[in-house]
Amino acid sequence: MFTKILIANRGEIAVRVARSCRSLGIESVAVHSSADAGSLHVRVADAAVDLGEGPASENYLNIGKIIAAAVESGAQAIHPGYGFLSENAAFAEAVAAAGLAFIGPSAHAITTMGGKVAAREVAVNAQVPLAPGSNGAIASAAVVEAFGAEHGYPVLVKASAGGGGRGMRRIDSADQAQEAFDAAVREATAAFGNGEVYLERYLTHARHVEVQVFADSHGNTVYVGDRDCSVQRRHQKLVEESPAPGLSDALRRSMGESAVRLAREVGYVGAGTVEFLVEDEKFYFLEMNTRIQVEHPVTEMVHGVDLIAEQIRVAAGERLSILDNLAPKGAAIEARINAEDVAEGKFLPAPGPVDVLEAPEGEGLRFDGGYVSGDIVLPYYDSLIGKLIAYGPDRETAIERLLDGLDRLKIEGVPTTAPAAKTIVSHPDFRQVRFSTLWLEETVDFTEEEPADRSTVEVGGRFYIIPTFSDYGTGAGYGAAAPAAPAADTASAAGGRTRQARAKREAVSDGTVKAPMQGTIVKINVAPGQRVEKGEVLFVLEAMKMENPIPAPVSGVVGDIDATIGHSLAAGTLLTKITEEAAA
């Protein structure tokens, strides 16, 4: 067994891995960007290594720096968590080349199953059902139109190297094909460094059900139950549960056996998730995630296992210890708590200071968090604050416990998705298992939720918060160590910030256009000398797993442009200045 493990991640999952390491008597080493120096995952680890300033590409995604940190710290293994480098085959190879253990599958498995086109070929060989799709990657919008004419609409353009909805676009008619194809390629290239996309027929009434698989190096491959992840917005999961409700025993068993065949076909070792779309008692392979999932706690709750600890044991060469825990007991439901404004179903990213965070306690409740009171949700990374999980001997009990927990979860300083989770879980459709992957966006009403006091913009039917990066202080800004709680009333302080932010927005703009958060420019819609109208989208910045349009603050003429596509920017970087034309 290992004595020291480096965790190549941040936030909630890094905290989770560190705690499992402690339970096994293993020292943990955190890595962090300079902006993250005061973050919770750094504080809970036994040691930490600063990977430097700049965007994630210069620290959390810098393979050389992470390997060097592991070697210098004396770690024998690296746990990648989820996201960042967790499904990067080059990283897995570099870890092995350095004489370290990668707590995950082989580079071959990552490469094969991480590429959606190659994964579909493996599924065919393993006799796993597939939805109609393109035969490999596509190169133009014309292929989209031809596929739609043959199979009907809607269809999906999906990033071959992607996940989490990035590089994915739904197309409802031929006239949407070009714009959707271009956007998917652009987003996939920015997110994964790979613009390859493929096509798939979109099932309009399907549920998203996934199977947890686990394999060791001794020939044991099993499935550890299933999860329903149908409650999504913009292809991002919000509520997950295990076991998936309402499935027949035959369907559940067939999916599990298919997942095992798939894992064996690619020689898989470690924890993985095989995702399916389920419609009318039929299931179709969607993709395989070659890592631990965000929603793994619901599986842990109903199977009485620690999947992170099991990952570590398997990576150390041990046999699976969970062979006696394959039958689920009871039910568990998880609500992701993100720093987002729920109002009207827009789910706008809303980074900022977490003034208060008090997680509920009680029978069957668990909170996996990446923040505590006084921490800051930075605009550079994912907006997940934590996950509230409820367990019960049956699904109804789990629902009631989750609702109780959501009522008692207290988070102040940033808007969160907790109100949305409560609306979802208490909805009659959810309770009676009358939902699909489109249910949340088409059925659930969030109009009564009050919007956060921040600037927003609508582009192509999608809404975005445009954060005011200076709202949370000057100087070090985001990433500075959280200040001590003031003696003054917290609500009053928060109200002061809100009034200042509102006054700032209501002030007359001088036409300056700056990057609202750290990210990468993926689209430039204007040229110097071009006249634009107020609100027109000038740039698109990819940040916090989303494309964020940057609108013109005034009408006028665009000046010099200080940005290029693919350029990584710090928050506050000047992009251009718009000069209002003099009256005739």
pLDDT value at position 496?
41
**What's residue 8's pLDDT?**
98
Rounded to two decimals, the pTM is: 0.77
Query: CA of 563: how far to CAs of 53, 528, 557, 576, in Å?
Result: 20, 12, 17, 8
Which class is 4-103 in CATH? alpha beta
Kind of pairing, strands 270-279 and 282-289? antiparallel
Which pLDDT score is estimated for 569?
A: 76
pLDDT value for 458: 46
pLDDT given for residue 324 in this prediction: 86
Domain 508-584 coded CATH 3.30.300.30: no
Alpha carbon 99 to chain centroid, angstroms: 30
3-class secondary structure, 223:
strand
Whether the CB-CB separation of 221 and 260 falls below 8 Å is answered with yes
Other CB atoms within 10 A of residue 289 CB? 21
> What pLDDT is attached to residue 239?
98
pLDDT tens track for 251-262: 999 999 999 999
Q: Where in the sequence of the chain do the CATH 3.40.50.20 domains occur?
A: 4-103
Low-confidence stretches of the chain (pLDDT beneath 70): 162-164, 448-508, 517-518, 543-546, 571, 581-584
Residues 6+ apart with CB under 8 A from 249: none
**477 and 469 Cβ atoms separated by less than 8 Å:** yes
Q: Is 530 helix (H, G, I), strand (E, B) or coil?
A: coil
Q: Which residues pair with 200 in a beta bridge?
A: 133, 156
Question: Strand pairing partners for 4?
Answer: 27
The edge-to-edge listing of strands for the beta sheet with 537-543 is 546-551, 537-543, 519-524, 568-569
| Structure confidence at residue 163 (pLDDT) | 67
Spatial distance between the Cα atoms of 396 and 237, rounded to a whole number of angstroms:
21
Preceding amide of 351 cis, omega within 30: no
Name all contacts of 13-17 with Cβ < 8 Å and 24+ positions apart. Answer: 13/81, 13/82, 13/83, 13/292, 13/294, 13/370, 14/41, 14/45, 14/81, 14/370, 15/40, 15/41, 15/44, 15/368, 15/369, 15/370, 16/308, 16/368, 17/79, 17/81, 17/308
So what's the pLDDT on residue 469? 42
Note the pLDDT of residue 236: 85
Q: Under 8 Å CB-to-CB from 201, ≥6 apart: which residues?
A: 131, 132, 133, 151, 152, 155, 156
42-52 tens-digit pLDDT: 999 999 999 99
So what's the pLDDT on residue 58? 93
Distance CA 49, CA 29 (A): 7
Q: Would you tell me how many other CB atoms lie within 10 Å of the CB of residue 496?
A: 11
The token pair at 370 is 């990446």
Domain with CATH 2.40.50.100 in the chain: 508-584
CATH architecture of the domain 208-443 equals 2-Layer Sandwich (3.30)
d(CA 229, CA 390): 15
Q: What kind of fold does domain 132-201 have according to CATH?
A: Dna Ligase; domain 1 (3.30.1490)
